[in-house]
């Protein structure tokens, strides 16, 4: 069965006053209908820019210079801007990171959801508003008839996030991109939002790309995981492989820094581990592996040539010189 989404060697660059940087550098990924792919990594590693590249919504000073984004077999990079606008919202939708800034503060909630429905389903205002109410009820809002008259600032963070999900789901997309959908929400609301996305995914056989820095969320909600670092995928496998048998030193560092892992350890006096240093500047990347300066397992090859992502075990891809299968 062909994959719903297949990204091949994608490279997104930005021209700045300091020079050109590659925010997404040679990313290759795939996703089937009904599956959830988690993209995890520290802030600034390129997760959001990967999602915006898929949506073709990168900022004006950026451009995609290489690769393919195949959606249902069609390369999204080769279709016109008008064709892409028709796909956004109807076939591919995105829940953005900050609902308060993503929602228009001067428009009522109902108007904002209805606008997407009118555009993609060619309905009149009254019909679109009625569907907006249905969609809000679908995402667990008890009194949608009242809420459609509210403005975003009148809602709590969890309610705004539900509105964003209702808007994204209003035309029943095949692919949902969720960028940090639980940021700034308390733990109880986080769980509700993740359960909601999971329920909608199962009901609509929808594929989900879940972007987060929280491995706990990935463990709960995703089937496959891609670990990003400085614009590249450094490890890609199933959730079970990533958590039970991480191969890349960066992935191991992320897992060891999880408070839950530390608390569950039987070692007395066990302290929360950290990854030393910082993500390298995209203006000044090392010659070899981008994780070299922070890696506790670095070898002499690591600072000379950049490793490539290769399949080391069945279904388990890693970019690291530690593994013989990675040698060209």
Cβ–Cβ < 8 Å for 221, 234: no
Show pLDDT as tens, one digit a residue, over the chain (328 residues).
Answer: 679 999 999 999 999 999 999 999 999 999 999 999 999 999 889 999 999 999 999 999 999 999 999 999 999 999 999 999 999 988 999 998 877 788 999 999 999 999 989 988 888 889 999 999 999 999 999 899 999 999 999 999 889 999 999 999 988 999 999 999 887 788 888 888 899 999 999 999 999 999 998 898 999 899 999 999 999 999 999 999 999 999 999 999 999 888 765 555 555 556 678 888 888 999 989 889 999 999 988 888 898 899 999 999 999 999 999 886 554 4
Sequence-ordered list of residues with C-beta below 8 angstroms from that of 18, at least 6 positions apart, any chain: 283
Residue with tokens 């995209």: 282
Domain 5-91+173-326 adopts which CATH fold?
Rossmann fold (3.40.50)
CB atoms under 10 Å from CB of 270, counted, come to 12
The whole-angstrom separation of Cα 308 and Cα 234 is 8
pTM above 0.85, yes or no: yes
- Could you tell me the two tokens for 164? 């964003």
Q: Are strands 175-179 and 207-212 parallel, antiparallel or unpaired?
A: parallel
């Amino acid at each position: 069965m062909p994959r719903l989404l297949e990204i091949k060697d994608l490279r997104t660059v930005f021209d700045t006053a300091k020079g050109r940087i590659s925010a997404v550098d040679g990313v290759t990924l795939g996703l089937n209908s009904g599956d959830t792919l988690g993209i995890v990594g520290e802030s600034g590693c390129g997760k959001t820019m990967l999602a915006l590249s898929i949506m073709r919504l990168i900022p004006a000073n950026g451009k995609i210079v290489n690769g393919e984004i195949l959606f249902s077999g069609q390369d999204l990079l080769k279709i016109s801007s008008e064709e892409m606008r028709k796909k956004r919202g109807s076939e591919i939708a995105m829940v953005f990171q900050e609902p308060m800034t993503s929602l228009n503060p001067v428009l009522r909630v109902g108007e904002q959801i209805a606008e997407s429905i009118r555009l993609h389903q060619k309905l009149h205002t009254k019909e679109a508003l009625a569907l907006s109410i249905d969609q809000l009820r679908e995402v667990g809002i008890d009194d949608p008839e009242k809420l459609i008259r509210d403005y975003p600032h009148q809602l709590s963070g969890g309610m705004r996030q539900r509105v964003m999900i209702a808007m994204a789901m209003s035309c029943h997309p095949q692919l949902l991109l969720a960028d940090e959908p639980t940021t700034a929400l308390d733990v109880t609301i986080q769980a509700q939002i993740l359960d909601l996305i999971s329920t909608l995914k199962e009901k609509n056989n929808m594929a989900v790309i879940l972007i987060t820095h929280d491995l706990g969320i990935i463990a709960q909600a995703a089937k496959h995981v891609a670990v990003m670092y400085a614009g590249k995928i450094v490890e890609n496998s199933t959730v079970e492989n990533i958590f039970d048998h991480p191969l890349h030193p960066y992935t191991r560092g992320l897992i060891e820094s999880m408070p839950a892992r530390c608390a569950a350890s039987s070692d007395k006096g066990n302290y929360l581990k950290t990854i030393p240093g910082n993500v390298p500047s995209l203006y000044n990347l090392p010659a070899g592996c981008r994780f070299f300066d922070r890696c506790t397992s670095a070898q002499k090859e690591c600072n000379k040539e950049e490793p490539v992502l290769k399949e080391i075990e069945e279904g388990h891809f890693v970019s690291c010189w530690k593994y013989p299968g990675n040698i060209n």
